[in-house]
């Protein structure tokens, strides 16, 4: 009797988890982020952009250590509701970006982010945000 109840409980948890995962996957596929690869300073980078309203400053977002740009799909969708376009990229060695020959330090990654903006034709000011480790990188970028 105990085993049957446990099996039924575990099956219900699995069904709920599977349903939640499918819901999340459906939301991710509806995201309006344009994901592509570019080469900047000899480094292949996977970037994602979403369009904002005309005249609004783009938001450069840095992800946390070990997280790839997919973490920002929902965020990009929500920011789009306010007319804010975002730009994010997988830092070298994370997600779809190639592994660097030497480890990057924050200062080098901040310069790389500036080079990404230049390569995309973004000039002037941008708003900057970061999640976790990316928050420290955002601070270095603004410095």
Tokens of 65: 């250590």
Tokens of 32: 């309006």
Which of 31, 50, 97, 132 is catalytic? The answer is 132
d(CA 60, CA 70): 14
Instruction: State phi, psi for 66 to the nearest 5 degrees.
Output: 85, -10
Question: Quick check: is 56 catalytic?
Answer: no
User: Measuring CA to CA, how many Å separate 105 from each of 15, 70, 96, 112, 140?
Assistant: 43, 23, 19, 11, 10
d(CA 86, CA 51): 7
Report CA torsion sign: 38, 39, 45, 51. Answer: negative
Number of Cβ within a 10 Å radius of residue 123: 8
d(CA 125, CA 127): 7
Q: Catalytic residue numbers? A: 132
């Amino acid at each position: 009797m105990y085993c049957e109840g446990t099996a039924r409980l575990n099956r219900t948890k699995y069904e709920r988890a599977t349903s939640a995962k499918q819901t999340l996957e459906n939301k991710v596929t509806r995201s309006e982020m344009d994901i592509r690869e570019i080469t900047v300073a000899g480094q292949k980078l996977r970037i994602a952009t979403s369009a904002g309203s005309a005249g609004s400053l783009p938001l450069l977002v840095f992800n946390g250590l070990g997280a790839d740009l997919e973490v920002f799909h929902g965020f990009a969708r929500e920011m789009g509701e306010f007319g804010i376009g975002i730009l994010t990229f997988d830092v070298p060695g994370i997600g779809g970006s190639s592994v660097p020959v030497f480890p990057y330090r924050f200062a080098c990654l901040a310069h790389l982010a500036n080079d990404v903006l230049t390569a995309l034709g973004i000039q002037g000011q941008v708003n900057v945000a970061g999640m976790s480790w990316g928050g420290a990188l955002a601070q270095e970028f603004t410095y």
